């Protein structure tokens, strides 16, 4: 049976380990040491690494893991990431037969220009594109680019579990309340996620359904978020892209 375990790294990163009793796949291993500890403790053979984008806290552990385990390493073709064995782009398919996994690669530019996400029909590993109740900063892309990526992800089935790469949820909820504070599902989410964090439990995975109900960056068409953007912009937003841009800039300085 497949198990998914978060390996904590740095201040708030999650390196996701997909594993059974024998084999493992890692997603965005920014630090090799906790990954090696986990693999050795559980006697797992590292089959593959999935990389979403080039930032150091997502790729930093790759060289040591590659030298120790010789895994297949998948990552975005549009980014310069030394050590990839398989470059992938939007629409590609990855098969990891040992764990009976098939991933569809979804191009999700915005945080970086070549960012990709991995979707297996039930689970989405989306790096720094879609966060629980938030989204990634626009280090390289444009608001239009990121909103398009988020809209594409929001069309996945509601039951899809979201495994992003950081524990940012409570901070994201605090911001969301400033622009969508009358949303009862957001307030309920805050209570539930605060309870989880108080016992050291991750707030992840969330689901597409939960994000569509509470994540302001997936709700740019909703009247409350349009009104919030109008206040920020000091004029009515022209479209959803302008709503998104206003919200993202506000989150940047929150």
Catalytic residues, by residue number, are: 53, 55, 57-58, 111, 128, 166
Under 8 Å between Cβ of 168 and 174: no
Residue 16 backbone dihedrals phi, psi, to 5 degrees: -85, 130
Q: Is the peptide bond before 205 cis (omega within 30 degrees of 0)?
A: yes
Handedness of CA 56, 122, 215, 248 (dihedral sign): positive
Instruction: State the Cα–Cα distance between residues 251 and 12, nearest whole angstrom.
Output: 18
Give the gyration radius of the chain's Cα atoms.
18
Under 8 Å between Cβ of 64 and 70: no
The contacts of residue 74 (CB under 8 Å, 6+ apart) are 48, 49, 50, 51, 84, 85, 86, 87, 88, 94
Count other Cβ atoms within 10 Å, centred on residue 16.
22
Closest CA to 134 of 233, 226, 8, 254: 254
């Amino acid at each position: 049976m497949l198990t998914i375990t978060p390996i904590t790294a740095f201040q708030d990163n999650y390196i996701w380990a997909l594993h059974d009793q024998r084999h493992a796949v890692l997603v965005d291993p920014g630090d090799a040491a906790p990954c090696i500890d986990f693999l050795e403790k559980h006697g797992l053979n590292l089959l593959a690494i999935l990389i979403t984008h080039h930032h150091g806290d997502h790729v930093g552990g790759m060289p040591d893991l590659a030298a120790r385990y010789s895994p297949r390493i998948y990552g975005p073709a549009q980014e310069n990431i030394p050590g990839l064995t398989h470059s992938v782009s939007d629409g590609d398919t990855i098969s990891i037969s040992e764990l009976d996994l098939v991933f569809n690669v979804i191009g999700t530019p915005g945080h970086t220009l070549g960012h990709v996400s991995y979707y297996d029909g039930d689970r989405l590993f989306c790096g720094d594109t879609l966060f629980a109740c938030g989204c990634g900063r626009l280090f390289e892309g444009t608001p239009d680019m990121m909103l398009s990526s988020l809209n594409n992800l929001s069309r996945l089935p509601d039951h899809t579990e979201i495994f992003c790469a950081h524990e940012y949820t409570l901070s994201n909820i605090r911001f969301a309340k400033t622009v969508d504070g009358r949303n009862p599902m957001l307030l309920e989410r805050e209570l539930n996620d605060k309870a989880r964090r108080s016992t050291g439990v991750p707030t992840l995975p969330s689901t597409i359904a939960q994000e569509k109900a509470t994540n302001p960056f997936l709700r740019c068409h909703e009247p409350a978020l349009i009104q919030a953007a109008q206040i920020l912009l000091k004029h009515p937003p022209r479209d959803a892209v302008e709503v998104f841009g206003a919200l993202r800039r506000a989150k940047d300085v929150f």
